[in-house]
Amino acid sequence: MSDIHKAASEGDVERMRALLESQPHLVSDKDFNGMTPLHLAAMNGHKDVAELLLAVPNIDVNSRNVLGQTPFVVAFYGGRGDVAQLLRQHGGRE
């Protein structure tokens, strides 16, 4: 697992901030399941990490994983209503 995916999964805000400041392109990095850091933050309910990611210019809020799921879908069906609402406010959709 890459550093940015690990930070997103674990909700490590400080590590995420450092990674995004030095390498903002990592916001679009996908793992072997097509999951972006935003997918992983959404899946694990890390709203603060999702907010950091959404502040990066040109983030694809509707990127799809290998199953065709967007971060909004992952959050919504994972019971992460607060993150799903945040993603919806930023244009997240099914």
43 lies in some domain: yes
Residue 38's contacts (CB-CB under 8 Å, 6 or more residues apart) are 8, 27, 50, 53, 54, 59, 61, 63, 71, 87
84 lies in some domain: yes
94 lies in some domain: no
Containing domain of residue 37, as a range? 3-89
Which residue reads 């999964």 in tokens? 9
Orientation of helix 13-22 relative to helix 3-10, angle to 10°: 150
CB–CB of 53/8 below 8 Å? yes
pLDDT for 18-59, tens place per residue? 999 999 999 999 999 999 999 999 999 999 999 999 999 989
Distances (CA, A) of 48 to 40, 44, 66: 12, 11, 25
Q: State percent of the chain over pLDDT 90.
A: 96
14 lies in some domain: yes
Which CATH number covers residue 23?
Answer: 1.25.40.20
pLDDT at position 23: 94
pTM of the model: 0.95
Number of domains in the chain: 1
Smallest Cα–Cα separation from 78: which of 65, 91, 32? 65
